[in-house]
Structure formats: C-alpha cells, structure tokens
C-alpha cells in the first residue's frame, strides 16, 4: 500500500480520445471519436490460483492462464496484498499500427447520477508495480467525459509511461501521477446539475465542446504495449492505491477489501485480457 519511487506528475493534456469511449489515446495525441461499440467477451483459460505474498515482496504460487485462441499465455503471479492486478494480453495484430494495443481499466460514474467533479483536485496518482517490465509496455492514466453531458466522449490523455526496469524495478511501486490542476476548467455545454440531470441552467445549452473536468464520468488507466511487442505477450501490473488530492466526489481508492469499483472497459479489449483481480 506504499509507494517507494515517484515518477512525477504528468502535465501533458490531450483533448478527446483516439478511440472514443475506448479510453485509448495512443501517445498523447487526441481527437473526437464516435459512440462506443460493445467489445467481445474476454476468454479466460484455466490454471492454478495465483499465490499471494506479503508486503509486495513475497513469492506467489503458480500463475493461471488466459486463453487466446489455441495459444495459452501465462499470467504472472501476484506478490502483494491489498492491491488489484491488471493483465492485458497483446494480440498478434496490433489494434493500432502506430500506438499498439491496450485495455482500459476504469472507475465510472453512472449515467443516471452526478459525474465526478474534479474541479478542485490537483492530482490523481496511480501507485503502480510492473510485474512485466519492458521497453514497449506502458500505462497511461486518463479522464473522460461521456453522455448525458457529452455524446462525443471527449477526454484528457497524458503521455504513455513506459514500464522500463528503471524506474519500475522488480517489487517496487512507482507513482504515476496525472496533473489534474493543469487541465483547463469547464468546456461549455450542459451543466449536469447536482443530481446529474438537466437543470434550469441547461436551457438552450448544447453538448460539451471541450473536455470538462467538472463533468468527468470515467477515470482510468490504460495498460498496453507498443506495436513491436511480441504477440501473446502479457502486460501485467499491480495497483496498490489510487490517491486523490483535493476535495471531490471521487475519493482515494485503497483496495483494502475489494477492487473498489475498478472495472475492465469492454470496448476493443484484446482477447484474453482479464478483469481486475483483487489480492
């Protein structure tokens, strides 16, 4: 539950998603995408139960496997308590020839409720341990608007953070911070209102025209690999905490007893990719 190195706050801000609602951004460039499609169901093979070590340094048991057609891939064993493990299987053909393949792990505000208001948040930090370090493997925190305020799924996407052995040394949690304070404020358009619906101030208002952090509906972390990564390789990381600095209706997640609502976005998810595994 503690971080040992600090990667530093990420201040680059891209506007709009490369894959709309897919929570994909590539290398930080951005565009406005269309409505999300429904991804296929990830296939899960069978294998032994991953063992759990203590304090992020203990040895795990035999790892399970995830199915990708006829080629099984090995998911690394967990080595921490009070964390979630995120494991993405890299397909033979990259999802994007330039940026590679990735899956998004997200906290979502329900469409019928209020969005996450991050107006007074300075940073959101993901405490990340790389179980599979590699020069082409990466993580990328992001924020995204969504209906009912934004049918275009505008987003803010900093640069990818590559899981190189330095600073992602084995057994080390590294701070991957998103500089929310550096993101401009409102983007215009409809005001969600206190109950997440329309209010008197919405009369005549259109959809958002730029990402609005006060109306965030998705807070997530992309996990993936560049286009040169070997097929059927696995990018696996563990998250010990997501720390929120500043008042908000989205608060720090500690993963003490559960995955705290973190889920796998099923839009364009690579086959064999696993949902968050609580340890």
Taking residues 79-107, what's their average pLDDT?
A: 96
What single-letter DSSP state applies at residue 21?
Answer: T
207 confidence band (pLDDT: 50, 70, 90): confident
How many CB atoms are closer than 10 A to CB 35?
11
Region of poorest pLDDT, from 96-100, 120-124, 235-239: 96-100
**Does residue 21 surpass a pLDDT of 80?**
no
| SS3 call for 233 | coil
The residue with greater pLDDT, 247 or 54, is 247
What single-letter DSSP state applies at residue 100?
Answer: B
Place of tokens 């690394």: 76
What pLDDT sits at residue 89?
97
Domains and CATH numbers, the chain: 1-34+79-185+209-279 (2.60.120.260)
Most confident residue range from 57-61, 92-96, 195-199 = 92-96
Q: Which of 118, 117, 142, 139 is nearest to 130 (CA)?
A: 139
**Does residue 271 surpass a pLDDT of 50?**
yes
**Does residue 32 surpass a pLDDT of 70?**
no
């Amino acid at each position: 539950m503690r971080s040992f190195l600090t990667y530093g706050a990420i201040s680059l801000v891209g506007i709009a998603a490369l894959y709309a609602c897919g929570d994909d951004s590539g290398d930080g460039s951005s565009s406005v995408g269309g409505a999300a499609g429904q991804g296929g169901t990830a296939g899960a093979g069978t294998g032994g139960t991953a063992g759990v070590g203590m304090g992020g340094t203990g040895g795990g048991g035999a790892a399970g496997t995830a199915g990708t057609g006829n080629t099984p891939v090995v998911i690394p064993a967990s080595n921490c308590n009070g964390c979630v493990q995120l494991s993405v299987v890299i397909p033979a053909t990259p999802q994007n020839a330039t940026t590679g393949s990735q899956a998004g792990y997200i906290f979502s505000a329900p469409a019928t409720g209020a969005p996450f208001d991050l107006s007074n948040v300075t940073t959101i930090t993901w405490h990340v341990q790389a179980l599979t370090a590699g020069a082409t493997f990466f993580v990328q925190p992001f924020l995204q608007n969504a209906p009912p305020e934004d049918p275009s799924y505008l987003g803010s996407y900093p640069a990818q953070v590559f899981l190189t052995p330095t600073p992602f040394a084995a057994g080390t949690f590294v701070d991957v911070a998103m500089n929310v304070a550096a993101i401009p404020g409102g983007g215009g358009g409809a005001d969600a209102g206190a109950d997440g619906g329309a209010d008197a101030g919405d009369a005549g208002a259109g959809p958002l025209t730029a990402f609005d952090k006060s109306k965030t509906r998705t807070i997530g972390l992309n996990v993936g690999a560049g286009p040169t990564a070997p097929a059927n390789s696995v990018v696996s990381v563990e998250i010990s905490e997501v720390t929120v600095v500043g008042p908000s209706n989205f608060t720090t997640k500690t993963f003490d007893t559960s995955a705290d609502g973190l889920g796998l976005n099923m839009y364009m998810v690579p086959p064999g990719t696993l949902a968050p595994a609580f340890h």
